[in-house]
A and B are shown apart, each in its own frame.
Chain A
Amino acid sequence: MSRALRNENGGQPVNGDARSLIAASGLPLQSQLLIAQVVKRTRLWKREKAAITAELIAHFHDGLEAGNSVEELIAAFGNPRTTAQLMRRSKKRNRPLWWRGARRILQGVGIILVLYVGQMVILLTGHPKPKIDYAARLCEKSETIAQADRAWPIYRQAWLLDPPLHIDWKPGPVRSNRSLIDSHPGDPKWNQAIALVQQHRPLVEAARAGGMKPGLGITIRQRRGFEETQYRAIFPLRSSGPVVSPWQMGEMDCPETGAIVEMVKLLMIDLRWAATQNDPARVVQDYRAITGMFRQIREVPTLIGQLLVVIYLARTDQALAEVIVQNPDLLSQKQYIELLHTIPSARDAINVSAESSRAEMDDLIQRMYTDDDCGDGRLTREGVEYFFRSEWTRDQPPKPSVASALTLPLLSAGIASRREMTQVVREQYDLLDRTFNRTLRQSLTPVPDEVTQHVQTMRGSLLTSLHYWPLSVNIPQFTGAGKDLHIARATHDAVIVGLALESYRLANGGYPQALDALVPHYLAAVPLDPLANQPLLYTLRDGHPVIYARGREGVDHGGVRPKTTAGYGDIPETGDWVLYPPVEEAAKQ
């Protein structure tokens, strides 16, 4: 008995259980039952129960010895249920600190868990209800093109017959390092480039035929149903399967662009090759087909497609200018006129708008959030699904996963609201459009780049990246695009003037004294110098035409290219910006 009554606070263990203590107490049965009832209801640890039992037993013995009856003692005892509750509470306060701390933590976790599950249930009831079919809007133009006017069936057939192709395109600054598409006769890669054109003759033929078609005629709906093998053949650069689901961000991605750009590269090589083979008709045909393909790429005006057109059109213009400067008598006057009819329309392709990319982001938002019809909404499980997908161009809509349900409240707390996300998208694309619309002089001014700053705000830390996810990782920057646009336009304008001058020479036996002589028979107007906003300048050097702009300082140096000029797109700090002939050919003269 005494062993059972050791003080647990004093470090003396209390052994034995409450039941055996009561049985051995010798107390009247009623009091034993009462003690047993109270102790049982305390639901305390075994040793705590034993301590209480011993104390109550002693209490009853003391009461009986003092002359009280058992009935009196029971009456004075109080309510057994209340006693058990009070004892339980007070005994628990005596438990060790670690136990009380762990209990508090568990209670806190429990409360958080209940709130989390409650929030999860609320959020799981919300679903996105997209109202605008942005993809259909984007493909509106393609839908209206007549079957006979569509280029895509021609391209597709050729791609299915041809082996996969991806041509190295990165431009090297020196002759020995030039890429395949920029290589000239005599360059180390020239024979390799020619072999490539010969190897992919079906694609070259398809490009020439398709490039003359008014439209591309491929829509998102038409992509559906491609078999994987066919898809891989047509889109060799793509790592993932066909874009077929209306529930994915990559919906507006246009993989056809990649396939067409490969064909453009082949024709760029062929254009130079045709000149060496003294085949002017092929030069004209290749150039016209290339500009036709650029127009087709812009039919579904993705941002990346538009930027690719700007880059490759400038390089095609460079190639054409080099051919003309090298062989001014290669083309007949009729062929020059034919090109002069083609080339101004191609200038329309040197234009970039972020509208499609903006639509893509707006589309993503409407597929991520619910819509309260007031511009706001809650994050949905469908939206969170994007978080767990490494690729967004798989062939099936995201299946609801346990992970998305479990993380929904957490991500909902971390990711911006629909209203905030919409606002951020609007700001970002307004800045981007402003960048695209800056003048060349503005683009050359070293000012803080607002677009980059805005993106950096989103990517400032892991938390902000999460807050603005997925915009923070996917929103485009292209801060240099504004300058590239102006340079491409100026290059293109100089080629137009060059063609007009050669056409004039063939008709009149010599170059004119001033560009005004070309207007209106060869040119509608003399194109403007984008820096000075005045007509481009012209001079003859060693009997060859030189077309130039005034350069950054705005002074006419007589068409002399500074020796430090690096190449295409290099606008010198001092001296003229010579646009025609291209740098390479001028060096030979």
Chain B
Amino acid sequence: MRVEKELMRGAGPMAVMQLLSGGERYGYELVESLAKRSSGVLAMGQSTLYPLLYNLEAKGLITSRVDDTGKRPRRYYRLTDKGKRRLSHNTKQWKSLLDAMQGLGFGPAAEEGVA
């Protein structure tokens, strides 16, 4: 299931930053990880991913470097200190939001009830 654009606006950067919290990654790697680890829900093409990365970079939340030691040069992205603080802050907010949504009946229990 694809998430609507409005929801992705907030979730996309958060998801990318979460992936980068495990270490630096390059573009295609991020696309693959997002698709697999979110079961396709947060899958995004280049048209979304790269502008998103450039925006995060402009805000100083991530930084990048070019590695040309491999067979092909790649640009790797990683979280900055500022990005880590923002991720931590946003994570708390997301958890609060999820708790609140579950309280309203969203979540696995509710889906089972509907079924």
Residues of A within 8 A of B (CB): 1-2, 5-7, 9-10, 12, 51-52, 54-56, 58-59, 61-63, 66, 76-80, 82-83, 86-87, 89-91, 93-94
Contact = CB atoms under 8 A, between A and B. Distances in A.
A87 B48 contact: no
B28 A82 contact: no
Nearest to A89: B51
B54 interface: yes
B65 A55 contact: no
Q: At the interface, is chain B mostly helix, strand, loop or mixed? A: helix
Contacts of B72: 58, 61
A58 B74 CA distance: 6
Contacts of A63: 28
B24 interface: no
A104 to B, nearest CB: 15
A55 B75 contact: yes
A55 B47 contact: no
Contacts of B63: 9
A87 B54 contact: yes
B27 A59 contact: yes
Interface string B34-69: 000000000001111011111101100001111010
A143 B73 CA distance: 98
A7 B64 contact: yes
A90 B28 CA distance: 19
28 contacts: A1-B73, A6-B66, A7-B64, A7-B65, A9-B64, A52-B50, A55-B50, A55-B75, A58-B75, A59-B28, A59-B46, A62-B27, A63-B28, A76-B31, A76-B45, A77-B45, A77-B46, A78-B45, A80-B47, A83-B46, A83-B47, A83-B51, A86-B47, A86-B50, A87-B51, A90-B58, A91-B54, A94-B58
Nearest to B57: A94
A94 B53 CA distance: 11
| List of 6 A-B pairs having minimum Cβ-Cβ separation, nearest first | A78-B47, A90-B54, A62-B28, A83-B47, A93-B58, A86-B51
Contacts of B55: 90, 93
Contacts of B74: 58
Given A12-B66, A90-B54, A91-B54, A66 B47 contact: no
Interface size class of B (residues with CB under 8 A): 20 to 34
B47 A5 contact: no
Contacts of A86: 47-48, 50-51
A1 B71 CA distance: 11
A87 B47 CA distance: 8
A90 B51 contact: yes
A59 B29 CA distance: 9
Contacts of B65: 7, 10
Interface of B: 26-29, 31-32, 45-48, 50-55, 57-58, 63-66, 68, 72-75
Interface centre among B50, B63, B65 (most CB of A within 10 A): B50
A146 B64 CA distance: 99
Contacts of B27: 55, 58-59, 62
B24 to A, nearest CB: 13
Contacts of B66: 5-7, 10, 12
Contact of B32 (A2, A56, A61, A66): A66
A94 B56 CA distance: 10
B57 A82 contact: no
Contacts of A2: 68, 73
A78 B49 CA distance: 10
Contacts of B31: 59, 76
B47 A7 contact: no
Output the residue of B26, B53, B57, B58 with the most chain A CB within 10 A.
B58
B54 A93 contact: yes
A264 B31 CA distance: 103
A123 B68 CA distance: 63
Contacts of B53: 90
B54 A78 contact: no
Nearest to A4: B73
B66 to A, nearest CB: 5
A162 B70 CA distance: 107
Given A7-B64, A76-B45, A90-B50, 17 more contacts: A1-B73, A7-B66, A9-B64, A52-B50, A54-B73, A58-B74, A59-B27, A66-B28, A77-B45, A77-B47, A78-B48, A86-B47, A86-B50, A87-B54, A90-B51, A91-B54, A94-B57
A529 to B, nearest CB: 90
A94 B74 CA distance: 19
A89 B52 CA distance: 10
B9 to A, nearest CB: 12
Nearest to A54: B73
Contacts of A91: 54
Contacts of A93: 54-55, 58
Contacts of B75: 5, 7, 51, 54-55, 58
